[in-house]
Amino acid sequence: MKIRTRFRHDRESFLKDESGAVMVIAAFALIIFLTVTSLVTDLGLRYYQKSRLQNAMDAAALASVTSLPDKARARVIALDYVQKNGFSTDSVVIEFPQDGVIRVRDTFECQTLFSGLFSGDKMRIEAHAAAKYLQKNMSIDFDYLMFHGAESTFNLNGDFREVAGAIFGNGNIRVTTNDAAIIQTIVSARQVGFYNNMSHRPDVVEHAAKQAMPDWDEMIMSIAPVAEEEHFTAEHTHLSPNASYLYVYNGDTNLQNIISYSPGSVICHGSLSTGYNSTAFMYVRGNLYVDGDFKPQCPVYVTGDLYVGGDLNPAWGMSVTVNGNAYVGGSASFSAGTTIGGELYTGGDLTLRNGSGTYSFGKVHCMGDFSSTTAWGAQVTVKSTTSVYGKLTLGGGGRNILKDDVYVWGNGYNNNDEVMLLNGYLNLRGDVWCGRGKVAFGGNGDCDIHGFVYSLGSIETRSGGDISLNGCMIAEGNIAIGGASHTYNDDGATLSLYSRNGNVTLGSQGSALNMWGIVYAPKGDIKISTDGLHIYGSLVANTITCNIGSGFYIGKNDRTLPFAKTIRSAALVE
């Protein structure tokens, strides 16, 4: 009984001692737990604030770098984005370590939640970001120099010189070129056959997987000129008789005694004509306003604007000079020596009818046909845009200079008609848009065309002189490049041809045809029938037909194409 009692007592004493130790251990464990919790919490807070600051620095750098090289503006934008992300700009440092690079950095102290119990009550957070503005030209980098998309046999015949790359055909490829031909690689979906004794046999890959026609439509069409019928038919603002007139004529008037000089504006409420005098001017210092037809039989000089409600038909050889704008409600015909300093608007046809002299217009908007075919040898200059609702025909042995865009709707014509014929010597420094029919360049002189040409019909160039092209020709129908001599080898110049639904023919006689770019007829045929054709780029079509003369060469294009998209991006470099 005593032993049992003693054992119970010792057990109770031990348990009491053990409970005290547990309390001590629990206290230490709680301290450790609170310490770890506080550290984890403050570390999480630090990570959160660091992320916020880093995001602010990234945003500031990326937003401001696009303003370079304007460093002042870049600095303002960077500070603005720091504030937008919720931070003060007091300690922000902005640097420009090299051209095209901006670095934004900041440091701030963040209040701790628990760590202050064990160390300082603040923690230091730093972040920085540097960005660079990148520009990259994305051109067509195609695997094949010649691509025959159809499963028909691709016949490679003619007097080849070299194909400095690969050829692909979804059908068989039949090679019957001359012995000296050099072809690097031939890839075919089926078989390749050689029917000559080529000294250099190319590498051949047979039974290759079929490939779909590449779709470059959206990329190329992004540069095509655009116009709608409303561009031509929208109501035109014409001149109104709102000036103070020195001479007023009521009804139809025939001025037998020509107004040799009027110190003010003239208005005629009817038709106006003059007596014949080739040496004296009808000189109007101001505006000339005629409600009806205007038929001067002497040279006319107007320092202001000219308004003719009907037709304007000067006598043969009589020039018209208008320093301002000219509005003709009907048709207008001019002789050599005519100059319109501003815009010429005609509600009907515009005809340049004689002489080897000059015609100069600031801008042309013609609601009928615009023709100079009878003005052989004349030089026609349009300094701004040319818009013709009907047909445009510039011809002769003179030089046609179009310094801006040309728009032709082709009203009254169909796709079999030559709706735009730019004949003779031509210097064009703008884009061309044609609503229907055929666009034709050349024929009686050299052509120098720098711009983009788009036709809802067809496009062709003709023999008669050198043709220098730089840009891109796009047609819904066929494209035919022909002529005695074609050069496309200006420094950096490129020429690409895209027939959306038709064929492309490359043919010339005489000297070489050189071009950098692509020829693309995804639904049609590319027909090669020329001597000395040198192409730096790719021929891509449903079919390719070769009847090649001497010296054919095709290699890689090393020039930037006009439809190659420039990708501009800001990238973080730190």
Q: Which residue has the higher pLDDT, 517 or 350?
A: 350
Angle at 128 between CA 124 and CA 129, to 5 degrees: 160
- CB burial readout 448-466, b (16+ within 10 A) else e: bbebbbbbbbbbbbbbbbb
Give the closest residue to 459 by CA, choosing from 490, 494, 505. 505
Dihedral sign for Cα atoms in the order 269, 273, 274, 275: negative
With contact defined as beta carbons under 8 Å apart, do 286 and 247 qualify? no
With contact defined as beta carbons under 8 Å apart, do 92 and 106 qualify? yes
Structure tokens at 149: 């998309």
**pLDDT tens digits, residue range 480-525?**
987 544 555 567 788 899 999 999 998 765 556 778 889 999 999 9
Segment 140-167 mean pLDDT? 88
Predicted local confidence at residue 3, as pLDDT: 46
* Averaged pLDDT score across all residues of the chain: 84
Kindly tell me if the per-residue pLDDT of 574 is higher than 70: yes
Per-residue H/E/C for 316-353: CCCCEEECCCEEECCCEEECCCCEEEEEEEECCCEEEC
Segment 60-70 mean pLDDT? 88
**pLDDT tens digits, residue range 533-561?**
888 999 999 999 987 766 788 999 888 88
Please give the share of the chain, as a percent, with pLDDT higher than 90. Answer: 44
- Residue 313 φ/ψ, nearest 5 degrees: -140, 80
Predicted local confidence at residue 43, as pLDDT: 63
Give residue 31's region: left, alpha or beta (phi > 0; psi -120 to 50): alpha
Q: Which residue has the higher pLDDT, 282 or 558?
A: 282
Helices (H) and strands (E) in the chain, counts: 4, 45
CA pair distance 544, 370, nearest whole angstrom: 38
With contact defined as beta carbons under 8 Å apart, do 479 and 500 qualify? no
Kindly tell me if the per-residue pLDDT of 421 is higher than 60: yes
Specify which residues 517 forms β-bridges with: 537
Kindly tell me if the per-residue pLDDT of 37 is higher than 80: no
Give the closest residue to 523 by CA, choosing from 499, 550, 555. 499
Q: Which residue has the tokens 């060469």?
A: 553
CA pair distance 448, 463, nearest whole angstrom: 14
With contact defined as beta carbons under 8 Å apart, do 53 and 87 qualify? yes
For the chain, give every domain's residue range. Answer: 2-138, 232-509
Structure tokens at 382: 């349009």
Give the closest residue to 347 by CA, choosing from 383, 387, 381, 402. 387
CA pair distance 59, 83, nearest whole angstrom: 11
Predicted local confidence at residue 349, as pLDDT: 97
